[in-house]
Amino acid sequence: MSKYNALWEYVQKSGKESFHLTFEEIQEIAGIPIDHSFLKYKKELADYGWQVGKISMKEQTVCFHKID
């Protein structure tokens, strides 16, 4: 079980094709702060039919896209 499972489930249930979340929103959903390990764990999202797009350090946002 991944420490980001709650986030992956949230993304999967979003009902959208793509959307952005702020680092703060991710922390609230996942129950943990986003950190460097997110780059490793983001690959797990493909198992849920999604992928991580652009990660903006300046805007502190992450874009999520549904895989066709």
Share of the chain above pLDDT 70, in %: 99
Angular region, 61: left φ>0, alpha ψ -120 to 50, beta rest: beta
Predicted structure pTM score: 0.89
Question: What average pLDDT does the chain have?
Answer: 94
Q: Where are the beta strands (DSSP E) in 1-68?
A: 18-22, 50-56, 61-66
pLDDT for the residue 68 = 80
CA distance 31 to 47: 21
